[in-house]
């Protein structure tokens, strides 16, 4: 049975500065979760911007069709590891963290860079399976989540006993104020990211902080894999950022003390998943949906290459990190 087509709407101009865009990648398909359609990504022509966006894009009413087989639940991804791949990854992953000097960065990443912040009230926007919230709760934070997926929200409540608001963030009218709001790989999914950050600003206490992670369009992975880069993920990623555009967005939303940087800590997953359609067909991955030893080794090699590149180019990390403060 063919999936139902996704209704689209034009998005010809840059969301941040209104400039026209040039085609960056065309005829993209969803190789991860099988959403229908072919998609085009454009990049802003302005040298002071560089935002990347989907044009045309799914309408707000129809974008749910792109998530029908999406992972937000217990398992860490759509594809599962073979037994041999699990053994190899269990050996190589901790070894690579130590040898590449990523142990401290990985600890900070897991606590979403709030490791030096005194615990208080924390909200995670798009909390998914709740693992991060549970980790932050163990670190002393009073946590709550927001989620639009009812299955994910129910799972977090049942598994961890954490309160989750089901529905759009802007419907949290009586919530807050929070000391910290976090979101990991959420901002790229929304039609109006500025409105989302403005809502976060409203929900924060004065001097409260927002921390967000999102794919970095200036990353080594994007330069290496091009249209096959895992971070593109059409048609779910509507806007894609770099340090410059992410900073501009936060400042437009009213935040101050904005800091942005990149991190290579997630390069393993990017290397494992950034494969062309030809590679997928050659290795029968489209049929089996399994992560093999070959995939694990690919991810390990890319983690090494990306980490070495990062030593000389701090803008090359696979993810942008932003921390900003509500100053008024």
CB neighbours of 289 closer than 8 A, spacing ≥ 6? 78, 79, 80
Q: Are 31 and 230 in contact (CB under 8 A)?
A: no
Query: What's the CA gap between 247 and 322, in Å, rounded?
Result: 7
Percent of the chain with pLDDT strictly greater than 90: 74
Structure-block tokens of residue 307: 């980490």
- Overall size of the chain counted in residues: 328
What is the distance between the alpha carbons of residues 167 and 145, in angstroms, rounded to a whole number?
11
Residue 278, classified by CB atoms within 10 Å of its CB into exposed (0-12), middle (13-18) or buried (19+), is: exposed
Mean pLDDT of 181-197: 97
DSSP character at residue 228: G
Question: What gap in Å lies between CA 243 and CA 319, rounded to an integer?
Answer: 9
Contact 160, 134 (CB under 8 A): yes
- With tokens 């004065």, the residue in question is 206
SS3 207: strand
pTM value is: 0.92
pLDDT tens by residue, 270-328: 999 897 655 655 544 443 467 888 989 999 999 999 999 999 999 999 999 999 999 98
- As a whole number of Å, the end-to-end CA separation of the chain is 53
Set out the domains of the chain in order of their start, with CATH numbers: 76-325 (3.40.50.150)
How many whole angstroms separate alpha carbon 274 and alpha carbon 156? 30
Distance, CA of 115 to CA of 326 (rounded, Å)? 19
> pLDDT tens, 37-74?
999 999 999 999 999 999 999 999 999 999 887 765 44
- Give the position of tokens 């997953």: 269
Instruction: Please give the pLDDT value at position 17.
Output: 95
Q: Which of 178, 201, 298 is nearest to 258 (CA)?
A: 201
pLDDT digits (tens, 9 = 90+) for 211-260: 999 999 999 999 999 999 999 999 999 999 999 999 999 999 999 999 99
- Residue 207 binned pLDDT confidence (cut-offs 50, 70, 90): very high
């Amino acid at each position: 049975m063919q999936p139902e087509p996704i209704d689209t709407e034009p998005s010809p101009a840059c969301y941040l500065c209104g400039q026209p865009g040039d085609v960056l990648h065309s005829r993209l398909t969803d190789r991860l979760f099988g959403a229908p359609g072919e998609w085009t990504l454009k990049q802003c022509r302005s040298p002071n911007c560089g935002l990347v966006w989907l044009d045309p894009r799914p309408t707000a009413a129809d974008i749910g069709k792109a998530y029908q087989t999406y992972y937000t639940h217990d398992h860490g991804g759509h594809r599962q590891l073979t037994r041999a791949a699990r053994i190899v990854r269990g050996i190589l992953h901790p070894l690579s963290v130590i040898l590449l000097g990523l142990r401290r960065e990985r600890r900070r990443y897991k606590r979403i860079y709030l490791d030096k912040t005194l615990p208080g009230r924390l909200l995670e926007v798009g909390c998914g399976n709740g693992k991060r919230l549970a980790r932050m709760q163990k670190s002393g934070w009073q946590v709550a989540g927001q989620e639009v997926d009812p299955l994910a929200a129910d799972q977090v409540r049942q598994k961890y006993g954490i309160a989750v608001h089901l529905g759009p963030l802007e419907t949290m009218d009586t919530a807050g104020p929070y000391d910290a709001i976090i979101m990991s790989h959420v901002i790229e999914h929304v039609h109006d990211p500025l409105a989302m950050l403005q809502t976060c600003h409203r929900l924060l206490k004065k001097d409260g902080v927002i921390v967000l992670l999102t794919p970095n369009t200036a990353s080594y992975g994007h330069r290496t894999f091009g249209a096959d880069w895992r971070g593109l993920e059409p048609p779910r990623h509507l806007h894609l950022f770099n340090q410059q555009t992410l900073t501009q967005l936060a400042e437009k939303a009213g935040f101050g003390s904005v800091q942005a940087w990149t991190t290579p800590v997630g390069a393993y997953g990017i290397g494992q998943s950034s494969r062309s359609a030809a590679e997928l067909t050659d290795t029968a991955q489209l049929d089996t949906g399994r992560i093999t030893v070959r995939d694990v080794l690919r991810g390990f090699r890319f983690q090494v290459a990306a980490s070495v590149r990062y030593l000389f180019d701090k803008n090359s990390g696979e993810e942008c990190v932003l921390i900003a403060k509500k100053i008024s």
